[in-house]
Amino acid sequence: MRPVLGIETSCDETAAAVLASDGTVLSELVLSQRDHAGFGGVVPEIAARAHIAHLPALVGEAMAKAGLGYADLEAIAATSGPGLIGGLIVGSSFAKGIALAAGLPFIGINHLEAHALTARLTDGVAFPFLLMLVSGGHCQCVLVEAVGQYRRLGGTIDDAVGEAFDKVAKLLGLGWPGGPAVERLATTGDPRRFALPRPLRGRAGCDFSFSGLKTAVAHLVAAYPPGPLPARAAADIAASFQAAVAEVMADRAAHALAMAPDARALVVAGGVAANASIRAALASEAVRTGVGFVAPPLRLCGDNAVMVAWAGIERLRLGASTPISQKPRPRWPLDSVDMPLA
């Protein structure tokens, strides 16, 4: 199989990558948009316009760094959902254009599936494995049985964990994106100072809830006079919040592993997988349970095109392809992904 070009535009990262069929990364580029910081979150229209402005040059640079022309490729893979519809239309349409012009197959990739399969690229994880997908928009436990075969065991009933980090960052007067800002501040704080709740800890199943924890932080902040929080209080709140999240994540992982006794490994993926405290809590739970633990390199935790190209390779190996008429979709649950062809 020849190399595959991957394109990712599901949110505010414009990314392109070229992978050889064995997973060797021939080139990878990610352009992070900075125009959203003043709004406290991603503005879909701004994101889509930025993708339009930068994607063609980024793809050209990725191809040049790989030393390839489009005729040297096996296929074009692009994220087709879930995500912000404007960005999905830009990326998938551009990919389809290349595929049609070069006479190549187009592979529409589910963004969540790309995250799920990253551990197979980086660590060769065998099926089945338990995936904890944690990001700004998603928080769920999934049993990954094969490419295209995903069984959802549990998910959030309100906020995703990354969303909770962003909201707590805003309460603390930190910048956006909130997850890295809260983690940095927490390193200087006391995680035992504030007794925050651990929502659903000990409950059956592996669903998540972070809305109540976020509200508890809001009450802590409201107890102080208006204006910037004292530095020590802010650091201790950040550390206490992060400790609560990590403890909840470990508890939910324990329940999920009990629901999936055949799982060979616990894999964490998504943007929040970059958080060191959460990684450590999940790694400890995996050791306690006796399964392997895999977390992708930090550069592959957030949105990137390497994972998209790899998901394309995994599907191509099974003979799967996507009709050029496939429409991008803002909602696309992982457990409804089409089965690949045998």
User: What is the overall mean pLDDT for the chain?
Assistant: 95
Judged against a pLDDT cut of 80, whether residue 36 lies above it is answered with no
Distance separating alpha carbons of residues 45 and 18, to the nearest angstrom = 27
Q: What is the pLDDT of residue 34?
A: 73
| Segment 260-277, tens digit of pLDDT | 999 999 999 998 999 999
The rounded percent of the chain whose pLDDT value lies above 90 is 90
- The Cβ of residue 139 has, within 10 Å, a number of other Cβ atoms equal to 28
Task: State the average pLDDT over residues 157-161.
Answer: 93
Q: Is residue 121 part of a domain?
A: no
| Segment 305-322, tens digit of pLDDT | 999 999 999 999 999 889
Chain centre to alpha carbon of residue 59: 21
132: β partners: 141, 268
With a CB cutoff of 8 Å and minimum separation 6, the contacts of 223 are none
Considering the domain architecture, whether residues 136 and 83 belong to the same structural domain is answered as: no
Q: Is residue 342 part of a domain?
A: no
Q: What are phi and psi of 29, to 5 degrees?
A: -140, 140
Q: Show the tokens assigned to 53.
A: 């402005």
- Name the more confident of 216 and 338: 216
Q: Is residue 341 part of a domain?
A: no
Number of domains the chain is built from: 2
Q: What is the pLDDT of residue 342?
A: 41
Considering the domain architecture, whether residues 226 and 290 belong to the same structural domain is answered as: yes
Judged against a pLDDT cut of 80, whether residue 136 lies above it is answered with no
Considering the domain architecture, whether residues 228 and 204 belong to the same structural domain is answered as: yes
Considering the domain architecture, whether residues 246 and 162 belong to the same structural domain is answered as: yes
Q: Is residue 258 part of a domain?
A: yes
Considering the domain architecture, whether residues 185 and 73 belong to the same structural domain is answered as: no
Considering the domain architecture, whether residues 204 and 63 belong to the same structural domain is answered as: no
Considering the domain architecture, whether residues 286 and 157 belong to the same structural domain is answered as: yes
Judged against a pLDDT cut of 70, whether residue 339 lies above it is answered with no
Q: Is residue 154 part of a domain?
A: yes
Q: Is residue 57 part of a domain?
A: yes
pLDDT band at 38 (very low <50, low <70, confident <90, very high): low
Considering the domain architecture, whether residues 267 and 153 belong to the same structural domain is answered as: yes
pLDDT band at 175 (very low <50, low <70, confident <90, very high): confident
Q: What is the pLDDT of residue 234?
A: 98
Distance separating alpha carbons of residues 77 and 79, to the nearest angstrom = 7
Judged against a pLDDT cut of 60, whether residue 145 lies above it is answered with yes
Q: What is the pLDDT of residue 110?
A: 97
Cβ 8 vs Cβ 310: under 8 Å: no
> Model pTM?
0.94
Q: Is residue 175 part of a domain?
A: yes
Q: What is the pLDDT of residue 67?
A: 98
Considering the domain architecture, whether residues 131 and 252 belong to the same structural domain is answered as: yes
Considering the domain architecture, whether residues 109 and 219 belong to the same structural domain is answered as: no
Cβ 30 vs Cβ 320: under 8 Å: no
CA distances (Å), origin 249, targets 70, 240, 278 = 43, 14, 7
* Domain with 67 in it: 4-116+300-336
Judged against a pLDDT cut of 60, whether residue 79 lies above it is answered with yes
Q: What is the pLDDT of residue 42?
A: 85
| Segment 44-60, tens digit of pLDDT | 999 999 999 999 999 99
Cβ 245 vs Cβ 278: under 8 Å: yes
Task: State the average pLDDT over residues 286-300.
Answer: 96
Q: What is the pLDDT of residue 91?
A: 98
Q: What is the pLDDT of residue 340?
A: 60
Chain centre to alpha carbon of residue 152: 16
Q: Show the tokens assigned to 244.
A: 């609560």
Considering the domain architecture, whether residues 236 and 267 belong to the same structural domain is answered as: yes
Considering the domain architecture, whether residues 304 and 284 belong to the same structural domain is answered as: no
The rounded percent of the chain whose pLDDT value lies above 70 is 97
Among left, alpha and beta (phi > 0; psi -120 to 50; other), residue 83 is: left
CATH of residue 212's domain is 3.30.420.40
